[in-house]
Amino acid sequence: MIGGVAEAAGTAMALFGWSPGQAWAATPRDLIAALAARIALRRLVRPVPAGRADLDNLKAHLGGE
């Protein structure tokens, strides 16, 4: 089980910028809350896909056909 804990601590350090001490002191609930917040934030800042009109406007702006 220590391998799973070490991987979770490494993930927390990489994704959230936690120090080793913070990562090792975190509970599973802390990690789940941080992951949920990161997922929610990514959903909020996801760009709206460009549509055909956007492409046509860009091409006209750049002098394309």
The model's pLDDT over 54-65, given as tens digits with 9 standing for 90+, comes to 999 999 999 866
Asked whether 20 and 9 are in contact (CB, 8 A), the reply is yes
- What local confidence, expressed as pLDDT, does residue 40 receive? 93
The model's pLDDT over 26-65, given as tens digits with 9 standing for 90+, comes to 898 998 999 999 999 988 888 888 999 999 999 999 986 6
Cα distance between residue 53 and residue 65, in whole Å: 14
**pTM here?**
0.57
Extents of the domains making up the chain: 2-61
Asked whether 36 and 16 are in contact (CB, 8 A), the reply is no
